[in-house]
Chains A and B, each alone.
Chain A
């Protein structure tokens, strides 16, 4: 018959302590912050199709570009790859400024 272990066993999880990434109020979760205004229609608009560099994402957005050319020819699409050193974080400045200057919307992908 199994007997109880005599010694007390420590709970590993009790010795995990965490702190929030930042303590200032601005870094805490926002409850429902707003997005940019939507366009209403894509007619005659310029849309940037930006791939992050993950495998296959460029080819996927190439197909999105073809779809717009065939089905919504009034939409101008610009295919770009995310700029910056890393595909894992947002270190892009120039491309975002270009989109702000020359475009009205962006499709980003593909995560995965």
Chain B
């Protein structure tokens, strides 16, 4: 947490006495920070929240009581700056940091129902029943990769514990079984794990992620990039996306008020919008090729943001570009990041009728034509939090935008290359989605595969059960 980190710096490197202030909601987090760093910062707590409160309420916080101590907040602030700290003010056990311990590799024998209950109660699941990771199932899962089971796939830093979690091939295989994955899905899940990126972020905001798969493996494992690709129907899409969140949970990212802080959460986290790009029906270069991978490589790409908005009936009154600008009005425009998920019909229309020869051409048009008043842009809290510091540093064009009259129009998507375009859908209607997701990372799947690629399907709608 920045307040604690900055206070430590001022106290210990600059010799400046500080009074750090937090809302009461974060008292446990700051306790962990104190235990790890051993620096007895004299935090003063106000009621929660501060954001959105009127000046009169904030004044009341200052003249009112600290919920942790029942003492007047401003008195505590003054005392923090003027009186030496006493060791008996802090009762934390600074020596009890170790989280490692010997755990039995196998669970005690029990019934299926009891073991399902155990997994749920231990916080190892996403709330849904899982496939129990038996020795046989995990061993079978591991046959899908040439990697050895104790190979470290990634190291993930856990802020609250100040530790690195080593993610092994075996850990990923256990999670893959739990998610309901088949062995052929494992290389994709290993590629996701190899990025070290969790699907859940330690933030009070409702972060969400998207997982895109490109290349031959999409069809080999019967992923759906066509009709209803985001719907709960296709096995590979469902279980691969779910595995990312189960892996994140195993990584410790769902410990309440340790790593997990989201006030409302986000239902996208159930399977992280896991989907394949419909390369067969797209008129443009596949996404992974845009990221300098070969077309015949299998690649996962990760995106992160908060929200998406649907165009729900196509676009006949305005152009696709104009309607996309309308949809973008619901999103913040943070560092020019957006992800446009277009049905193949929309992509074809944009190329053949509107003349956008590449995805980047369309991104450039959006960049030039979407405009908002400067006051509206900077008035968005997220922009104020994350982009105002960059403007203050003199980085253009943000520094200039910050000086403009509030009514002056600016084009906040100033980096067309940050506007990602992905083609997904079954061509039953020319619709699309607009998300505030930024591109996070890509990783090759092929490194983790034990088998070569196979031929795939024609229209992208692979792997859909169709009883009729």
Whether A85 and B389, one on each chain, are in contact in the complex, defined by CB atoms closer than 8 angstroms, is yes
Contacts known (A12-B178, A108-B19); A7 close to B168, Cβ less than 8 A: no
| B residues 375-409 in Cβ contact with A at 8 Å | 381, 384-386, 388-390, 392-393
Is A25 engaged at the interface, CB distance under 8 Å to the other chain?
no
Judge if A73 is at the interface, Cβ distance under 8 Å: no
Q: Once the chains bind, are B62 and A35 in contact (CB under 8 Å)? A: no
In the assembled complex, which residues on chain B have CB atoms less than 8 Å from the CB atom of A78? none
The number of residues on chain B lying at the interface, defined by a beta carbon within 8 Å of a beta carbon of chain A, is 111
Q: Are A29 and B97 also in contact (CB < 8 A) when A12-B124, A18-B161, A96-B14 are?
A: yes
Q: What residues of A have a CB within 8 angstroms of the CB of B90 in the complex?
A: 32
Chain A residue numbers with a CB within 8 Å of B457 are none
Proximity string of chain A (1-45) to chain B, C-beta cutoff 8 Å, 1 when within and 0 when not: 011110111111111111111000000011111011111111000
**CB-CB < 8 A to B38: which residues of A?**
29-33
Once A and B bind, how many residue pairs between them come within 8 Å at the CB atom?
296
B317 interface hit (Cβ, 8 Å): no
Q: How far is the CB of B307 from chain A (nearest CB, A)?
A: 17
Query: How far is B78's CA from A41's CA once the two chains are assembled, in angstroms?
Result: 9
Q: List 29 A-B contacts (CB under 8 A).
A: A5-B109, A7-B135, A7-B137, A8-B107, A9-B132, A10-B105, A12-B250, A14-B105, A16-B251, A16-B252, A18-B163, A18-B166, A21-B164, A30-B94, A32-B87, A33-B38, A35-B39, A37-B15, A47-B81, A60-B62, A67-B63, A82-B6, A89-B5, A100-B14, A105-B19, A106-B10, A106-B17, A107-B81, A112-B22
Say yes or no: is B104 at the interface (Cβ < 8 Å to chain A): yes
Residue of A18, A19, A41, A42 most packed against chain B (CB within 10 A): A18
A57 CA to B49 CA in the complex, in Å? 10
Q: Which of A71-112 contact B (CB under 8 A)?
A: 81-90, 92, 96-97, 99-100, 103-112
List B42-70 residues whose CB lies under 8 Å from chain A. Answer: 42, 46, 48-53, 55, 58-59, 61-63
Bitwise interface map of B from 115 to 141 toward A, beta carbon under 8 Å scored 1, else 0: 100010010100000001111111000
* Ranked 5 nearest A-B pairs via Cβ: A109-B21, A112-B23, A55-B51, A111-B22, A7-B134
CB contacts (< 8 Å) of B158 on chain A: these are: 18
Residues of chain A lying within 8 A (CB to CB) of residue B63: 67
* Residues of chain B lying within 8 A (CB to CB) of residue A8: 106-107, 109, 134-135
Given contacts A38-B83, A50-B6, contact A13 B122 (CB under 8 A): yes
The yes or no answer to B458 lying at the interface (CB within 8 A) is no
B171 at the binding interface (Cβ < 8 Å) = yes
B81–A105 touching, CB < 8 Å: yes
| Interface residue B292 (Cβ < 8 Å from any Cβ of A) | no
Q: Find the A residue at minimum CB distance from B136.
A: A7
CB contacts (< 8 Å) of B161 on chain A: these are: 18
A60: B residues at CB distance < 8 A: 21, 46, 50, 58, 61-62
Contact A36 B15 (CB under 8 A): yes
Given that A16-B165, A99-B16 are known contacts, is A11 also in contact with B105, CB under 8 Å in the complex?
Answer: yes
Chain B residue with minimal CB distance to A53?
Answer: B385
Query: Chain B, 88-114, contact with A by CB distance < 8 Å: what is the 0/1 string?
Result: 001000110101100111110111111
Q: How many angstroms between the C-alpha atoms of A101 and B114 in the bound complex?
A: 64
Instruction: Give Cα A39–Cα B84 distance, bound, in whole angstroms.
Output: 9
In which size bucket is the chain A interface?
35 or more
Nearest neighbor of B135 in chain A, beta-carbon distance: A8
Q: Which of A13, A38, A86 contacts B389 (CB 8 A)?
A: A86
Is B389's CB under 8 angstroms from A42's CB? no
In the bound complex, what is the Cα–Cα distance between A62 and B58 (angstroms)? 9
Complex CA distance for A9 and B50, rounded to whole angstroms: 47
**B360 part of interface (Cβ distance < 8 Å):** no
Cα of A107 to Cα of B175 in the assembled complex, Å:
45
Distance in angstroms between the alpha carbons of A16 and B59 in the assembled complex = 47
Distance in angstroms between the alpha carbons of A39 and B80 in the assembled complex: 9
Asked whether B82 is an interface residue with its Cβ less than 8 Å from the other chain, the reply is yes
Is B373 interfacial (CB 8 A cutoff)?
A: no
- Shortest distance from the beta carbon of B15 to any chain A beta carbon, whole Å: 5
Q: Which of B17, B25, B62, B165 contacts A64 (CB 8 A)?
A: B62
Given contacts A32-B87, A85-B390, contact A20 B174 (CB under 8 A): no
Looking at the complex, which one of B85, B109, B165, B250 makes contact with A35 (CB distance below 8 Å)?
B85
Q: Is B293 on the interface with A (CB-CB < 8 A)? A: no
Instruction: Specify which of B18, B81, B111 is in contact with A42 (CB 8 Å cutoff).
Output: B81
CA distance A36 to B15 in the complex (A): 5
Are A35 and B82 CB-contacts (below 8 A) given A5-B112, A12-B175, A64-B77? no
Closest to A11 in B: B107
B264 contacts the other chain (CB 8 A) = no
Q: Is B52's CB under 8 angstroms from A56's CB?
A: yes
Q: Decide: A100 and B94 in contact? CB cutoff 8 A.
A: no
Chain A residues in 8 Å Cβ range of B107: 8-11
Cβ–Cβ < 8 Å partners of A40 in chain B? 82
Cross-chain contact B385 with A87 (CB below 8 angstroms): yes
With A56-B49, A96-B10, A111-B1 known as contacts, the answer to whether A36 contacts B55 (CB < 8 A) is: no
With both chains docked as a complex, state the minimum distance between the C-beta of B341 and any C-beta of chain A, in angstroms: 29
B222 located at the interface, meaning its Cβ lies under 8 Å from any Cβ of chain A in the complex: no
